Amino acid sequence: KMKNFYITTPIYYVNDIPHIGHAYTTIAADVAARFKRLEGYKVFFLTGTDEHGQKVQQAAKDLNVTPQQHVDKLHQRFKELWVKLNISNSDFIRTTEERHKRLVCDILQTLHEKDEIYRDSYEGWYCTPCERFWTEKDLQEGNCPDCQRKVEKIKEYNYFFRMGKYQDWLIEKIKSDPHFILPASRRNEVLGFLEKPLEDLCISRPKSRLPWGIPLPFDEEYVTYVWFDALINYISVHGSLDDIRASGYWPSDHNMVGKDILTTHAVYWSTMLKAIGLEPPKNIFAHGWWTVNGQKMSKSLHNVVEPNQLADQFGVDVIRYFLLREVPFGLDGDFSHKALIGRLNSDLANNLGNLLNRSVNMMKKYFNGTIPEPATTGEEDIALKKKAQEVIDEVRKLYDELAFNKILQKIWELVDTTNQYIDKTGPWNLAKTDEGKERLKTVMYNAAESLRILGVLLFPFMPKSCESLMQQLGVEKKIEEQGMASLDNWGGLTSGTQTQKAKQLFPRIEDKQAAKILEELDAPKETAKDDTGQITIDEFMKVDLRTGKILEAEKVKKSRKLVKLKVDIGTETRQILAGIAESFEPEDLIGRTVIIVANLKPAKLMGIESQGMVLAANNDGSLLIAGFDQEPGLGIQVR
Ligand code: MSP
């Protein structure tokens, strides 16, 4: 029997212009969905749009159209983008659809009858842009803690969901199921949030203030709070509560969200489900946020990265690859065109693209374009097969944690190993002798088979490119039909198959062209008026500067710039890599007093860990190390 797999993205606010942040969640979910299909699962993959609420109402009013007309038009931008980015969603849910509104009403009615929802007066601080009430103690300097804008004091009657009573259950659930909320750091944040008493959730808004929402079935003076409405999308897509139970898709496998909306999912949604009598999702995964050239993405900074444009310029698969390769899934990341072009040129064009290109060309040259029959088996062949098997096994495991960047790193080990296999065996030399020609058959077969494996493994990330790769290898069977099962044994490729003409998968961006693109796109944008670039004394004090003495210094092999230092900072000795080899001989550094950044996150450079940074000034290309006019003690703070 086929196993089911259900994965969801958040539903996007319809009035936002889709940017790489939205594309990120959706692409990640798409990769997981495509992989599970390759594994033979019956997959349901849901995305959609969140269409009620204040902002939509206001925007429609400004344009002089009805909110419904407005959202009917706007949601298309998301739908079209997902087609363009080759997203394989099974359905697209809109919260203004009948099927959704029907279930929201059913749930409200049932919970009201069961006294899970009650009416009460409420006094609180309301943030209009966020459409959220805050208590006095939530406020930060009198402003909304989320957006820092002004709040208004409002007293009114409203309806409340008895969320508070599920607090203990939820804490227990999170503690007993480590897979429920990932990554672990985010899980601890939610547990921290739950240390305070959990209050009941206000789930209504007076219609007089906000008419654009789903009316409460038991009181027509009110509409439903957008979050209570929106979260239900994950089940309304499957029909009635009975339909959902029968669908085989609940509980869902992964509920993917950004870190900013983890609480609404982990707390509101889980307790809502509990009250409804359904299980919470098996996993809620909160990914990090993208900044752009180090800055928050925002309209006022004119730095919103638009996926449509990006895809036109660099190609859909390049974007899909970059977003998931660049940053560990779960952490924040920084987008720059420079980094994107770097990945395109090195990982994609030089390593993968070139591997395919030269393999197909050599098959053409030496075997008239047919896949040869492998003959001999040597040491190199065994090592290559072993590597492939290791990569396949590891990739499968890494999908359980949605560790996309590790998956890609792992797959690239096979790309590199295959390139090295060709370099080591040297087809161009083998072709010179009769004996060599026999060996060459095996070498070319194995290179091609390795490429087929790469095509299957990379298909979830870069579907179009991998289809092209398969075509070039002459494989007609669709990758979806080959599946992960086709990787169980080496030798899936049929000898005698006619390969196709080599085509470049990822054209390189040449330096000149890159420089032009970067000048246009990565140039610092005009910053907002209130951003003076200044920091507060508190921000400065976060940098832990200390005195230290260099005990040992040696050049890092194969590096022009790096010196490995052992620095005594009084309490301990730190290993620090400094890029100063061009200005100093290691022996001249020993015994010098330096200033180091002691709380810098450790990082690896050329495989060596560096636990800090030495302060130096670049004086026209020659470096000067910051120091003191008298000898200080060790480990003293510098400010
Ligand atoms: N409508 C709500 C979600 C309701 S789900 C029942 C919403 N929509 S949103 O359009 O504002 O955001 C949708 C997703 O985009 C969130 O997961 C959010 O984290 C993500 N991102 C928005 N900006 C982002 C970045 N700059 N970087 C990464 N993801 C970001 O919230």
Give the other-Cβ count within 10 Å of 188's Cβ.
Answer: 12
Nearest CA to ligand 1 atom 22: 21
Ligand 1 pocket check for 258: Cβ under 6 Å: yes
Q: Tell whether ligand 1 has an atom less than 6 A from the beta carbon of residue 260.
A: yes
Which pLDDT score is estimated for 618? 83
Q: Are 553 and 564 in contact (CB under 8 A)?
A: yes
**Mean pLDDT to the nearest integer, 389-411:** 97
What are the phi and psi torsion angles at 575 (to 5°)? -95, 120
Q: In this structure, what DSSP letter does residue 22 have?
A: H
pLDDT tops 50 at residue 587: yes
Closest atom of ligand 1 relative to the 13 alpha carbon: 10
Please state, rounded to an integer, the average pLDDT across all residues of the chain: 93
Q: How far apart are CA 226 and CA 221, in angstroms?
A: 16
The finding on whether 257 has its CB within 6 A of some atom of ligand 1 is: yes
Q: Whose CA is nearest to atom 9 of ligand 1?
A: 12
Q: Which residue has 């638009």 as its token pair? A: 306
- What percent helix, strand, coil does the chain show, rounded to 5? 45, 20, 35
Nearest CA residue ID for atom 29, ligand 1: 21
- The residue among 525 and 33 whose pLDDT is bigger is 33
pLDDT in tens, 535-554: 777 678 778 899 999 999 99
| CA 472 – CA 505 distance, rounded (Å) | 10
Residue closest to 549 by CA, chosen among 493, 595, 484, 515: 595
- Output the 3-class SS for 242-305: HHHHHHCCCCCCEEEEEHHHHHHHHHHHHHHHHHHCCCCCCCEEEECCEEECCEECCHHHCCCC
Q: What is the model's pLDDT at position 210?
A: 84
Measured in Å, residue 12 CA sits from the centre of ligand 1 at: 6
Question: Is any atom of ligand 1 closer than 6 Å to the C-beta of 231?
Answer: yes
Ligand 1 and 289: CB distance under 6 A: yes
Specify the pairing of strand 91-94 against strand 42-50: parallel
Measured distance CA(114)–CA(117) in Å, rounded: 8
**CA dihedral angle for residue 226, residue 253, residue 98, residue 158, rounded to 10 degrees:** -30
Per-residue confidence (pLDDT) for residue 225, from 0 to 100:
95
Q: Which atom of ligand 1 is nearest to the CA of 22?
A: 15
Nearest CA to ligand 1 atom 21: 21
What separation in angstroms does the CA of 270 have from each of 1, 166, 247, 280, 568?
29, 9, 19, 5, 51
- Cβ of residue 25 lying under 6 Å from some atom of ligand 1: yes
Q: Which residues pair with 43 in a beta bridge?
A: 5
Tokens of 318: 């390049």
Residue nearest to atom 18 of ligand 1 (CA): 258
* Closest atom of ligand 1 relative to the 258 alpha carbon: 19
254 contacts 229 by C-beta, under 8 angstroms: no
**To which H or E segment does residue 467 belong?**
helix 463-472
Task: Check pocket membership of 21 for ligand 1, CB cut-off 6 A.
Answer: yes
The total number of residues written for the chain in this structure: 639
**10 Cβ closer than 6 Å to some ligand 1 atom:** yes
Helix (H) or strand (E) holding 46: strand 42-50
At 254, the amino acid letter reads H
522 vs 547, residue with greater confidence: 547
- With a 6 Å cutoff on the Cβ, whether 11 touches ligand 1 is yes
Q: What are phi and psi of 122, to 5 degrees?
A: -145, 135
**pLDDT tens digits, 287-323:** 999 999 888 888 777 888 999 999 999 999 999 999 9
pLDDT-derived band at 636 (thresholds 50, 70, 90) equals: confident
If residue 439 lies in a helix (H) or strand (E), which one and from where to where?
Answer: helix 434-458
- Alpha carbons 340 and 315: distance in angstroms, whole number: 11
Residues β-bridged to residue 603: 610
Distance 617 CA to ligand 1 centre (A): 41
Q: How far is the CA of 19 from the centre of ligand 1 (A)?
A: 10
CA distance 597 to 418: 41
Say what the pLDDT of residue 317 is. 98
pLDDT band at 528 (very low <50, low <70, confident <90, very high): very low
Amino acid at 158: N
What average pLDDT does this structure show over 137-163? 91
| Whether the Cβ atoms of residue 166 and residue 272 lie closer than 8 Å to each other | no
Query: Is the distance from the beta carbon of residue 130 to the nearest atom of ligand 1 less than 6 Å?
Result: no
pLDDT band at 530 (very low <50, low <70, confident <90, very high): very low
Please tell me the predicted confidence (pLDDT) of residue 525: 53
Mind listing the pLDDT tens digit for each residue in 336-349? 999 999 999 999 99
69, pLDDT greater than 80: yes
Spatial separation of the C-alpha atoms in residues 52 and 56, rounded to whole Å = 6
- In this structure, of 189-193, 303-307, 524-528, the range with the lowest mean pLDDT score is 524-528
Ligand 1 binding pocket includes 261 (Cβ within 6 Å):
yes
What confidence score (pLDDT) does residue 533 get? 63
Closest atom, ligand 1, to C-alpha of 297: 26
pLDDT digits (tens, 9 = 90+) for 227-274: 999 999 999 999 999 999 999 999 999 999 999 999 999 999 999 999
pTM, 2 dp: 0.81
For residue 18, the CA-to-ligand 1 centroid distance in Å is: 10
User: How far away, in angstroms, is 265 Cα from ligand 1 center?
Assistant: 12
Whether the CB-CB separation of 117 and 159 falls below 8 Å is answered with yes
Can you say how many angstroms the Cα of residue 436 is from the centroid of all Cα atoms in its chain? Answer: 47
pLDDT tens across 77-108, in order?
999 999 999 999 999 999 999 999 999 999 99
Contacts of 6 (CB under 8 A, 6+ apart): 43, 44, 45, 46, 249, 250, 252, 253, 254
Please tell me the distance from the alpha carbon of residue 69 to that of residue 94, in angstroms, as a whole number.
13
Does ligand 1 come within 6 angstroms of the Cβ of 230?
A: yes
**pLDDT value of residue 571:** 79
**How high is the pLDDT of residue 76?**
97
Ligand 1 pocket residue status of 50, Cβ below 6 Å: yes
183 prior amide bond cis, ω within 30: yes
Query: Does 630 score more than 90 pLDDT?
Result: no
H/E element, 563: strand 563-568
